[in-house]
A = this chain, B = another copy of it.
Amino acid sequence: MAVYTEVSDDDLIAFIAGYYLGDVISCKGIAEGIENSNYLLRTEQGTFILTLYEKRVSPADLPFFIGLLEHLAARGVSCPTPVRDRQGRALRELCGRPAALVTFLDGMWPRRVTPEHCLELGRALARLHQAGADFPGRRRNALTVDAWRPLLQASRSRADEVRTGLVAELDADLDRIEKSWPDGLPAGVIHADLFPDNVFFMGGRLTGLIDFYFACNDFLAYDLAVCLNAWCFEKDGEFNATKARRLTAGYTSVRPLTDHELQQLPLLAQGAAIRFLLTRLYDWLYTPENALVTRKDPLEYLTKLRFHRGVRSPEAYGLG
């Protein structure tokens, strides 16, 4: 749940007067996203999301994020589109924080994922990768392979409180993953956090992708590996091969995978699993119990990691 910066009505009215959006009709803080303060804003011209960037997002990254959304929207990707003010600025300041206004996307994220959702997701992910190909901005992935060892180090002394033997198991996995992490896979802009709550659907059709605040430059197939983890396991930890097949079929129907990508996918899936395992583990150990944020179970990703560790060919994901 989000922590809010309270925007006064006077400040908001003055802020919105800087756009070609007419008068403010209403403004409600919304309880989604933990990184920023988000408001659902209605003006005479329509419905928008107003975001105030709190300290977890680096101001230096904002031009990348805002520029990327404009770039993608211009290429037909259904994502929040930044609205420019009368002076042409998409990034402004409100209540002492960086602030941006983006278009509101219809739809709801799926609480119960179906294979059809996965098919739609695969297509949308591949189109996102194609649309991002000529985006000039650059942002390194702060949570890729070189970040995982320091993350484990930060949790090492207490990780076995969560599961006995966890440190030893992750050490062995990391040794292996670091040694074999690939070079030279097709790369570009990836979303890097495309979980179900960041994908909207209406009547079974994908209506939009949101929350690009982990977007960065990395291997395109790693993004697919993140989705295999986030969309294709059941609550009990079992891998749903039907969903995976639909996801990869949707993706490859738009952008075929190279042989190198196919061959590396099991390793990329292990990498994606360990990435979310490690950040959840750290948050689990170091987030106060009464904090506003709901901690997510890191062991969910241990189950996923173990599954991918046992995969010998991309066929497990419906490919190859």
Contacts and interface: CB of A to CB of B under 8 A. Distances in A.
Interface of A: 1-2, 4, 6, 8-10, 12, 23-32, 40, 42, 47, 104-112, 200-203, 288, 290-292
8 cross-chain pairs, A with B, having the tightest CB-CB distances, nearest first: A290-B290, A29-B31, A8-B111, A9-B108, A28-B30, A25-B106, A31-B31, A9-B111
Contacts of A27: 108
A9 to B, nearest CB: 5
A23 B203 contact: yes
A2 B4 CA distance: 12
A35 B30 CA distance: 16
A80 to B, nearest CB: 13
A2 B2 CA distance: 11
A24 B108 contact: yes
Contacts of A107: 25-26
18 contacts: A1-B1, A1-B4, A1-B31, A2-B31, A8-B111, A25-B107, A25-B202, A26-B106, A26-B107, A26-B108, A26-B200, A27-B108, A28-B30, A28-B32, A29-B30, A29-B32, A42-B106, A290-B291
Contact of A9 (B4, B28, B109): B109
B28 A40 contact: yes
Contacts of A292: 1, 292
A152 to B, nearest CB: 28
Most chain B CB neighbours (cut-off 10 Å) among A9, A104, A288, A291:
A9
A21 to B, nearest CB: 15
Contacts of A47: 42
Contact of A288 (B30, B31, B201, B290): B290
A107 B13 CA distance: 12
A253 to B, nearest CB: 25
Contact of A40 (B8, B30, B109, B288): B30
A28 B49 CA distance: 11
Nearest to A26: B106
Nearest to A6: B111
A201 B1 CA distance: 28
Nearest to A107: B26
A53 to B, nearest CB: 17
A117 to B, nearest CB: 11
Nearest to A201: B9
A8 B113 CA distance: 11
Contacts of A108: 9, 12, 24, 26-27
A8 B110 CA distance: 8
A41 to B, nearest CB: 10
Nearest to A9: B108
